[in-house]
Structure 1
Amino acid sequence: MNPIAEAYLGALAMLEATAPRNLHLAATMVTESAGDEALREYLSNAGPDDRLRKRLQLALATWDYVVDAVWAEGTEPRTVARRELIYKLLKIDAETIALFHEEFPIAGRDGDIIIADSWEPWYTDELRRERGFYWDNYHGLLLAQDWSADAVRHLDHATSEVVGRLAEPTRQEAYQSKGLVVGYVQSGKTANFTGVIAKAVDAGYRLVIVLTGTTDLLRAQTQRRLDKELIGVENILGGVSPNDAELLDQVDYQDDPEWMSGKFVRLGVVPADAGKPGIDRLTTYRSEYKSLQQGIAALDFPKREKSLPYYDPENLFHGDARIAVVKKNGSVLRSLVMDLKRIKARVSEIPTLIIDDESDQASINTSNPKKWEEGQKVRSAINRLVSELLNLLPRAQYVGYTATPFANVFVDPRDAEDIFPKDFLISLQRPPGYMGASDFHDIDIDFDQVERTFANSVQKAHVRFVSGQYEKENKALLEALDAFVLSGAIKLYREARGTKAFRHHTMLVHEGMRTAAHKELADRITDLWNKSGYYSATAYTRLRGLFDKDLGPVSRVRAGDIPTPNSFDEILPYLPKAIARIGGTRSPVLIVNSDKIESDQEKLDFDTTDHVWRILVGGNKLARGFTVEGLTVSYYTRVAKQADTMMQMGRWFGFRQNYQDLVRLYTTVELYEGFEAIVRDEEFFRSELRQYAAPVGGKPQVTPQDVPPLVGSHLPRIKPTAANKSYNKVLAERRTPNKEPRSGYPNLSDRADILHNVEQFRPVLARAIARGRVALSQDRDGHEAWACLYSHRQLLEMFNRLRWSNATSFNADLAWLNTLEDEHIEDWQIFLPQLKSDEYKANVLGLGPFSLHRRAAPNGILEGRSTLFGRADAEKVARPPKPASKSRRGALLLYPMIAKDKAPRIVAGEVDPGEVVMAFRMVVPTAALPNDGPLVTFTTKDSSRPSAAIVDSPV
């Protein structure tokens, strides 16, 4: 190692444990040549991944963030004043300060959004420094990998925000906090909860339960990740000598190339020898949690001082931690619950951390409240077992992680045994280097399709549309295969020019969830591959054409500094190797689903296999938290109706270092539009959180319990989450441009309500009669209508007085209409379309005569769907044909309606008003149309206020 690097790395290690002090003086303990000039010269020649450069950046950022340190002299975190003080304490000269300022700028305010109840701060910077064994090792591993110092610094801050809101582990009174951390799909949530576990174990938490998704693939992937990056070689060996071949069979990883090459974190010491807590694994990479039976001692927590509770520091900081990584499976969780019950007297004293990965999957109670007996809440299986865990462990802290939080915020906030995030809700900022939805959708970019280029449009650069016709679909699938082959060759081209090796290179094909269809699809892809001509020169003309029109031009404008071929001929030497890796010795296609893997198919294993260059066909097992490594081309045509389901299937989101320009998504126009709407739903949810995040007067504006954030739907056909996760959902606002309430009118037997509603329309009927009839110009049959104008405020006052059999049918529309001002809607043109037939025409409330429209009345409730004629005139009033003329006049079609199955009582030309329902259809004017934001929003029922129709919302 360079002596200057060695000297300053040692100096930083000392200073990070205390505070910023004379940097050069500390470095001279290693080399006398340390000084400003030597340090500047080294940094000027160091690359971006240089170890000292990254460590300096991290140290400065860490000191920037400190809140309560004495040395900070009251300076605010992340300010110029704080950084100037740091430079002063480091005693560096003006030239070095200028270099630091340029190379290591002050990080901006974090984008993490935090809504939290008041809590007692306990996780101080001093505590973190004193008890940072596992965190220090973890963040050191990340720095040694591909993480930038800025990313590690942000992770440090974000994880401290979570740990600081857990209960202090040595407190006497048990407290159970519950929180939710919201990230992006495949954006590093596992890294966040790994960091949280590291800091929690350092701080005193001694039982960690990680609930993964529902598949063995995800459970094993999570276990290995924690073993490799957190638990460490010394804990995994458990005292077994690495040279003891016979006992190493217990290790799990004896054939793992990353284990053998030293990629698993080494703690540098057996934790007990350094007075640090060890971590005992209750599960392994190959073994799910099983009932411990005679080995129940593995769950025991022996006390050093038997007269004191386990959470007392005399016991807590002399005990080891236990960790179990379990999938959300009924029998597995029951085994864990039963074992904990067997040591119930002790577990009540154990500070416990429960991490629920993919917390909106399986953990939510999906039982139908309509089927519950009076006063008896029924829970679905996994939700019941999670509740049992929380009841068994009064000192347990529950932290859910998800990228799709909609189901979580629909949980009843007053259900003490459920998992509503009552204490905190943290929305993580998008991490650097992440390829997310904004990299596939031209959100809020105003240009015509013809103006899109590979440079200015992410859609044009990365998205290719698939037709539903079989022949065209096959052509698109072959093109996707070609893109996969070409991108593999370009990766090899880049490797040869110095980029890090691309260990895995994958393509995902997802057309449906049925396992039988997966086999058919795999056979179809294999047939296309075999007929493609890849093993001869016959495919090269086709590949050249795709490179020239697609991959080449996109890479040239989007690859940045990454080596990029200028012509197809430059990648030609790498094509045979790419083709051989994909399908040279075995089938290029792997089926990944719940079916038993055929004997001749290799197992999908990103961890222990050197290279996975394959086309993956599957459904749910390739979604929901499972990371598809090296994913470059996605062919996705599966239709789903829920926003969270669709987003969790978006495996094309993630980190794509050195090949972001090569990523392609093949999908249908309908699905693409659906994903774009969901992207807007996500951003709306985060914006709802953001507006409440800033404290007022040192106190939180709201807590997660007070105001559940609004969940929006920009495309109403795509629901936020499945119906069985939405029993607690309440429709809050509906911003749809046409309003046509259905099945919301009072029951026909509720004569008083019907008479009340008709009476509210009396002024409208009177004004229409006074103004007279008009021809419906857009109606070829020559219908006429009574017509009049009504101001927006007058109409809203009338609507607010109406009665409904189901108030939510129109309240959500009314909630939005009440927010619109004169600049959006000035007035309403009201039409009462008249039938040519006089069969049912009568006065209503002494006014008229008016046509009585007939509609079916299923279950005694009138349908509010309007007749066809009159709609065109209403559209013309509210939506003028010329885009330049934004109308502020809405249109309302009003239809006095009677039941279809019986003749109304008409006496002396007057209809009984108790048999008339005033149905209407509204067309909102152009100026009021929602150009941004969701069309529909939802919030959550609160069981402590059962009479509230809608929980208080920010609208």
Structure 2
Amino acid sequence: MTNPAAIRLTLHKSALAGMQARPKSLARALAYQAEEEGPEAVAHATEEDFQDVLYTSHSTDQLVELWRKQLTQWDYAENPGWTETDPRTDERRGAVLDLLGLSEETKKLLVALVPVPRAAGQVVIATERTPWYTPQSQQGRTWYWPAYRRLLTEKGWPETGIASLDAASDSVVAHLADPTSAEAYQSKGLVVGYVQSGKTANFTGVIAKAIDAGYRLVIVLGGTLNLLRAQTQRRLDMELVGRENILRGAAEYESDYADDPAWSKGKFLTHGGLPSALGGFDIVRMTTRDNDYKSLLQGIVALEFEKQEPALPLHDPRNLHRSSARLMVVKKNKSVLTKLVKDLNKIKTPLSEIPVLIIDDESDEASVNTANPNKPDAERTAINQKISELLGMLPRAQYVGYTATPFANVFVDPSDTEDIFPKDFIVSLPRPTGYMGVQDFHDLDSPLPPEERTFANSNERAHVRDIHLASGEDDTALQQAMDMFVLTAAMKLYREANGLGDRYFQHHTMLIHESVRTAAHRELLGRVAQLWWNSGYTGPSGRERLRELFETDLAPVSHVRADGHATPSSYDELAPYIGAAAIRIGGDDQPIIVVNGDKDIETGEADFDKRSIWKILIGGQKLARGFTVEGLTVTYYRRRTNNASTLMQMGRWFGFRKGYQDLVRLYLGREEAMGNKDIDLYEAFEAICLDEETFREQLRQYAEPVDGKPQVTPAQVPPLVSQHLSWLPPASANKMYNAELLEIRSPGKPIEPAAYPTKAAAIKRNTERWRPLLDLLSTEPIAFTSRPSSTTKARTFKALTGRVAHGELVGLFAQLEWERPGHFAPHLTYLSQLDGSLAKVEDWLVIAPQLSSGSVEASILGSMPLSLVRRSRQPGKVSFGRIAGLEHRNVAQTLIDDVDTQPTIGGPGQLMTPARGVVLLYPVVEGTSQLDVRAAAPDGVADPSCIIMACTLFAPKSANDQARQLVRFRTKDSSHRFDAIIPQAG
């Protein structure tokens, strides 16, 4: 008798295959398939049979995996025609199960075995376009996307990861122009990912779908260095082009990958034959792994596009879908791009007929025009000029930039039609599951005081080790980093031998990055080599250092963060692997690889594709952008830079660390003097994280359509970029201009003014303006209790309170002086409208927290005694750090959020109404110690010239109009190049 499980699996596989466009009645689909399969299948073609099997199924059973794949695709589908529910929600899953016609019991069983994925999706800011990329338009024409999807499945990608990539790449392709359209249109867009987070996978998916849809020339701008271009070429050849397109009838040994282990191991995609012979179409490579684009001979035949119908244009579907695609991966190099432009001008196929896709990897580097915008006769920079020429000569070219640091791109002049500003769309990719990014090395807004942080609850304590550079050139920290590198190598060998099964750590690396100068690398090579050979890893002195480091650092971190991976209980259990680790790193007498282009000191090849690498890498610019350092576990980083985009790209320690995330260590420079500014690299990376997460969150906030139309277009995005450190602007100065932010609406969200005045006279005038409000405060404090969370306890504090009319508060803010007047203006514009044109705000609850015993209290201009708060401005900053205490913010947010339930968070009486906001008020004394506070208030009376009245505002959630637009912009004309709106560091 035929296996019932096999019959059932075949039936369900066939039934689901017929539902790719939309979910349909499962009962009817199974019944139809049973007729095709024969009498034995009928008994297994019912929902009752399916339900019986689900009762005893496990999440890894074949039938469940089949359903997981299909349900996940439906869960992630963006704007499908069969439902208006949001992706990855219970409502979406409910709509799917209803369309399948399943009983309530079967629904429950399926949801239990295949839970609804909760991962965030991509965020899209785009202009309105007529939809063209639909499942119906692609019917029967997909070839390369299904092949790529199959490869990812074989590589072990989870179905949710593939579905996320599918949805995100769909979002990009849908905003390109229809390649078959009679009218030419040139889209320009930007895709924002995270550093080393899978952007290449996304644009590989985009290329696959684009060429399936009809794009026939794909130009990938693969970085500014040969090794980056080659890395991208290999990835596309392996995962998209495939063996048959690479060989094109040649023998295996003739392939340019004949010496690549992945080629011989069968890891390159295979189509089962030349695609054109199997009903598909071929990809013709114009570049190879070792060869960038070169001028073509023989009449540029290789670039000529074949037409089945010569009288029709190439973009006509009757030609387009029977023509091969051309792919080239070229370096951002003036001479290379000049050759390409020259050759394209020679081909016979009219350039106006060719649908072209230009993918610009690391698009914020070299591609952006950095010529001085203040000079009217300034010429474009070289690479930007060549990209502009390509776009000018290819009217059907679509430009898509990819970057993890988007600030340079969104600050391009929107009115410059020849430039690369993403006028049509910006797609922000979600943070992938398993990705180790900047958040994983920082404790952003942690409520825990430093003394309560542990390896378990603090990312910084677990992964970051300080290099206090002010102490000079002592190599103690560098030696410890190298010891950690050997220890973690031993840990990987231990895990290979204990429970990882076929898991194999092919690469294990340490990166040392101190400078981009090759001369510095020469000196560093000598230092590191001497440390290595004197380390004594096979002798007693080295072993004692390793034992201490294991017991004080590696073991306690892994004990709480190993996530189930094997961890030795003692150093003695790990010790047998130490020698093997040291030999694997330095057994060939070359433990160090220098990657900087200096042939005299380069000591090996950092080609992770050709061999297993367990080495220490020393480098600068070559290893600082785009290039993936595989197996990176320990980083020793001291490199300085002057803007956030460049610094973020240095973070090679970001990426996927499957099986060894607990072993990752970052040795980072702290408190380094540079001129008159104290530079703390850890603080700098934290500020970048805040900048970028704020940018992404605002994109997400504004991506929601209002009345079916976009709230903002890409041209209105630049003002959303923030800057948390004055010495670290988001991008270089000549990329930040030409946009003006008029208003920021923040219903239900905190507004914390900054840029308070620094001069005593202005401070005094501001304090005097606050006097009427101070007179409204109560004489007796009331108690407030913050809401507890999973990481914090409830905290109680007392505060004086009062109520102030909305018009009075806005009038006060209109009079205040600021060190940077434009900083608060967009918020004041919003607040000024809350008396009528927006949802009306009647008044504000003022809360002046009283600090714990021991604090200084003083009367300000005759007010009740108030607790004075000490805050200090960091060198070079005009604003303080966060003013409001976390428990105070917690209380204010709860009052706003729970206004309808009348929270009993405060004292007697009704504290809140739906039309009431909250003001947290703090009299701030600028200083570094309590002595400064006491000096500002002798005998309990404050000197108003020393008191900065600071606050945090929470407008009611209802404080918006029906349109729900959260932001208003005005984009300046490019003739106003002299009016920079974002302050420059200086």
* TM-score by shorter chain over 0.5: yes
> 1:222 is aligned with what amino acid?
T
Map 1:582-621 → 2, pairs under 5 A: 582-596=585-599, 598=601, 601-609=603-611, 611-621=612-622
Kindly state the Cα deviation for residue 60 of structure 1 after the two structures are TM-superposed: 1.3
Q: Deviations over 1:203-256 (max 9, x none)?
A: 0000001012111111110000000011111111112243xx4xx1xx210111
2:270 to 262, 266, 280: 266
Kindly state the Cα deviation for residue 938 of structure 1 after the two structures are TM-superposed: 14
Kindly state the Cα deviation for residue 795 of structure 1 after the two structures are TM-superposed: 7.0
Map 1:133-532 → 2, pairs under 5 A: 133-242=143-252, 245=253, 248=254, 251-294=255-298, 296-343=300-347, 346-373=350-377, 378-468=379-469, 473-499=474-500, 500-532=503-535
- Cα distance change, pair 887–78 in 1 and its aligned pair in 2 (3 A): closer
1:571 to 559, 574, 594: 574
1:557 to 556, 560, 564: 560
Task: Find the residue that maps to 2:136 and give its secondary structure.
Answer: helix
- 1:683 corresponds to: 693
C-alpha distance in 1 between matches for 2:506 and 2:7 = 33
C-alpha distance in 2 between matches for 1:263 and 1:556 = 36
Larger Rg: 1
C-alpha distance in 2 between matches for 1:586 and 1:51 = 49
C-alpha distance in 2 between matches for 1:766 and 1:564 = 63
Superposition RMSD on alpha carbons, in Å?
A: 4.2
C-alpha distance in 2 between matches for 1:83 and 1:470 = 59
Single out whichever of 883-892 and 329-338 deviates more from structure 2: 883-892
> 2:584 is aligned with what amino acid?
R
- Cα distance change, pair 941–642 in 1 and its aligned pair in 2 (3 A): farther
- 1:661 corresponds to: 662
- 1:778 corresponds to: none
- Cα distance change, pair 55–285 in 1 and its aligned pair in 2 (3 A): farther
Equivalent pair of 1:740/1:921 in contact (CA under 8 Å): no
- 2:118 corresponds to: 108
Map 1:906-925 → 2, pairs under 5 A: 924-925=948-949
Task: Find the residue that maps to 1:466 and give its secondary structure.
Answer: strand
Single out whichever of 51-60 and 84-93 deviates more from structure 2: 84-93
1:712 to 701, 722, 727: 722
2:757 to 714, 739, 750: 739
- 2:899 corresponds to: none
Single out whichever of 221-230 and 546-555 deviates more from structure 2: 546-555
- 2:973 corresponds to: 943
Task: Find the residue that maps to 1:635 and give its secondary structure.
Answer: strand
Kindly state the Cα deviation for residue 383 of structure 1 after the two structures are TM-superposed: 0.6
Task: Find the residue that maps to 1:705 and give its secondary structure.
Answer: helix
- 1:646 corresponds to: 647
Identity %, equivalent residues: 48
C-alpha distance in 2 between matches for 1:735 and 1:766 = 18
> 1:288 is aligned with what amino acid?
D
Equivalent pair of 2:847/2:920 in contact (CA under 8 Å): no
Map 1:784-933 → 2, pairs under 5 A: 810-812=821-823, 888=922, 924-928=948-952
C-alpha distance in 1 between matches for 2:245 and 2:74 = 31
Equivalent pair of 1:437/1:679 in contact (CA under 8 Å): yes
C-alpha distance in 1 between matches for 2:970 and 2:637 = 33
Instruction: Give 5+ residue unaligned stretches, structure 1.
Output: 743-757, 768-790, 803-807, 831-873, 893-919, 931-936
C-alpha distance in 2 between matches for 1:198 and 1:253 = 21
> 1:399 is aligned with what amino acid?
V
Kindly state the Cα deviation for residue 334 of structure 1 after the two structures are TM-superposed: 0.7
Equivalent pair of 1:180/1:400 in contact (CA under 8 Å): yes
Q: Deviations over 1:804-851 (max 9, x none)?
A: xxxx9643465567778987899x999xxxxxxxxxxxxxxxxxxxxx
Map 1:724-763 → 2, pairs under 5 A: 724-726=734-736, 728=738, 736-740=754-758
- 1:905 corresponds to: none
> 1:604 is aligned with what amino acid?
A
Task: Find the residue that maps to 2:557 and give its secondary structure.
Answer: helix
Equivalent pair of 2:145/2:209 in contact (CA under 8 Å): yes
- 2:778 corresponds to: none
Single out whichever of 549-558 and 724-733 deviates more from structure 2: 724-733
C-alpha distance in 1 between matches for 2:200 and 2:168 = 13
Q: Deviations over 1:420-440 (max 9, x none)?
A: 111111111111110111110
- 2:547 corresponds to: 544
> 1:289 is aligned with what amino acid?
Y
Q: Deviations over 1:365-405 (max 9, x none)?
A: 011123333xxx52111111000010011001111110001
Equivalent pair of 2:256/2:288 in contact (CA under 8 Å): yes
C-alpha distance in 2 between matches for 1:623 and 1:81 = 44
C-alpha distance in 1 between matches for 2:243 and 2:15 = 26
Map 1:71-86 → 2, pairs under 5 A: 72=82, 78=88, 80=90, 83=93, 86=96
Equivalent pair of 1:711/1:939 in contact (CA under 8 Å): no
Task: Find the residue that maps to 1:608 and give its secondary structure.
Answer: coil
C-alpha distance in 1 between matches for 2:538 and 2:581 = 11
- 1:866 corresponds to: none
Q: Count the aligned residue pairs.
A: 817
Equivalent pair of 2:373/2:734 in contact (CA under 8 Å): no
C-alpha distance in 2 between matches for 1:76 and 1:435 = 27
Single out whichever of 646-655 and 570-579 deviates more from structure 2: 570-579
- 2:71 corresponds to: 60
> 1:323 is aligned with what amino acid?
L
C-alpha distance in 1 between matches for 2:236 and 2:766 = 69
> 1:579 is aligned with what amino acid?
A
C-alpha distance in 1 between matches for 2:968 and 2:623 = 29
> 2:951 is aligned with what amino acid?
A
- 1:694 corresponds to: 704
> 1:479 is aligned with what amino acid?
Q
**TM-score (norm: length of structure 2):** 0.75
Equivalent pair of 1:636/1:666 in contact (CA under 8 Å): yes
- 1:635 corresponds to: 636
Kindly state the Cα deviation for residue 39 of structure 1 after the two structures are TM-superposed: 9.9
Kindly state the Cα deviation for residue 586 of structure 1 after the two structures are TM-superposed: 3.0
**TM-score (norm: length of structure 1):** 0.77
C-alpha distance in 1 between matches for 2:528 and 2:601 = 17
Map 1:89-128 → 2, pairs under 5 A: 97-108=107-118, 110-128=120-138
Instruction: Give 5+ residue unaligned stretches, structure 2.
Output: 671-679, 744-751, 770-807, 833-843, 849-858, 862-877, 889-918, 927-943, 955-966
C-alpha distance in 2 between matches for 1:372 and 1:199 = 41
- Cα distance change, pair 664–947 in 1 and its aligned pair in 2 (3 A): closer
Equivalent pair of 2:767/2:945 in contact (CA under 8 Å): no
Equivalent pair of 2:337/2:386 in contact (CA under 8 Å): yes
C-alpha distance in 2 between matches for 1:952 and 1:445 = 29
- Cα distance change, pair 736–344 in 1 and its aligned pair in 2 (3 A): farther
- 2:908 corresponds to: none
